[in-house]
Chain A
Amino acid sequence: EDQVTQSPEALRLQEGESSSLNCSYTVSGLRGLFWYRQDPGKGPEFLFTLYSAGEEKEKERLKATLTKKESFLHITAPKPEDSATYLCAVQAGNNFNKFYFGSGTKLNVKP
């Protein structure tokens, strides 16, 4: 069964304390993996797309990496404004029904 699992469910960091969020997936025929940021009361905001194992993308303090079974979102020296829920999503095949979201990691960065 196609599945996307994110861990941890919640993460509390001190400002400047680097860490990583995990998104593991079991889908057949991965076409792309997406990372989104969601602030409370708002819709998800697109961050990155990764297409194949070994690929990396960076944006400010965020760096996303992809292997054949999982993706990591590395947060370097986070700031309180990085506090949000981070969602990953996987596209398996060309069918839009084969697009699965994880349940997210809620990140809280304390000053």
Chain B
Amino acid sequence: NAGVTQTPKFRILKIGQSMTLQCTQDMNHNYMYWYRQDPGMGLKLIYYSVGAGITDKGEVPNGYNVSRSTTEDFPLRLELAAPSQTSVYFCASSAPEGRAGVGYGYTFGSGTRLTVV
């Protein structure tokens, strides 16, 4: 099925370890995003990309890095994991802006549940 695929689904990291969360989409969407979701909080934007080779910071970028070498892939890198990075991470994609310059609804992946201990 077409959509956004995230791997892994679950991961436990020790403090100070690093890892990459993978995200790939097969809808030829230009725009891709990484969000984190903490209990009782709204989704917070970490990084986003408007096309291959172009990335920019969102609301909560500290401790993370991204790259976008292809339209399909948008991996999120965690360096020196900290307990504050325990969260559920969602990757999403969307087509370019539509009516009145408003973005289309996002297609989300199923998430990666990360625990840092």
Q: If the complex has contacts A51-B100, A96-B48, are A43 and B108 also in contact, measured as CB distance less than 8 A?
A: yes
Q: Check B105 against A46 for contact (C-beta < 8 Å).
A: yes
Any chain A CB within 8 A of the CB of B107?
yes
Ordered nearest first, which 8 A-B pairs have the shortest CB separation?
A: A43-B108, A46-B105, A32-B102, A101-B42, A101-B43, A31-B102, A103-B42, A96-B48
A42 close to B105 (CB less than 8 A): no
Count of A-B contacts judged by CB separation below 8 Å: 68
Give the interface size bracket for A toward B. Answer: 20 to 34
In the complex, whether A72 has a CB less than 8 A from a CB of chain B is no
A24 to B42, CA, bound (A): 14
By a beta-carbon cutoff of 8 Å, the part of chain B in contact with chain A is 4, 31, 33, 35, 40-45, 48, 50, 56, 58-59, 90, 92, 97, 99-111
* Interface of A, helix, strand, loop or mixed by DSSP: strand
Question: Residue A71 at the B interface, CB < 8 A?
Answer: no
Do A41 and B110 have beta carbons less than 8 Å apart?
Answer: yes
Specify which chain A residues have a CB less than 8 angstroms from the CB of B100 in the assembled complex: 31-32, 51
Q: List 16 A-B contacts (CB under 8 A).
A: A31-B102, A42-B110, A43-B4, A43-B90, A44-B90, A46-B105, A49-B104, A49-B105, A51-B100, A96-B33, A96-B45, A97-B59, A99-B103, A101-B42, A101-B44, A103-B40
Q: Which residues of B contact A31 (CB under 8 A)?
A: 100-102
A45 close to chain B: CB less than 8 A: yes
In the docked arrangement, what's the CA distance between A66 and B42, Å? 20
- Measured between alpha carbons, how far is A4 from B107 in the docked complex, in Å? 21
Contact A96 B103 (CB under 8 A): yes
The contact string, 1 if C-beta is below 8 Å from chain B, for chain A 16-56, is 00000000000000011010100001111111110100000
Whether the pair B42, A34 counts as a contact (CB closer than 8 A) is: no
A102 to B41, CA, bound (A): 7
Is B109 a contact of A91 with CB atoms below 8 Å?
A: no
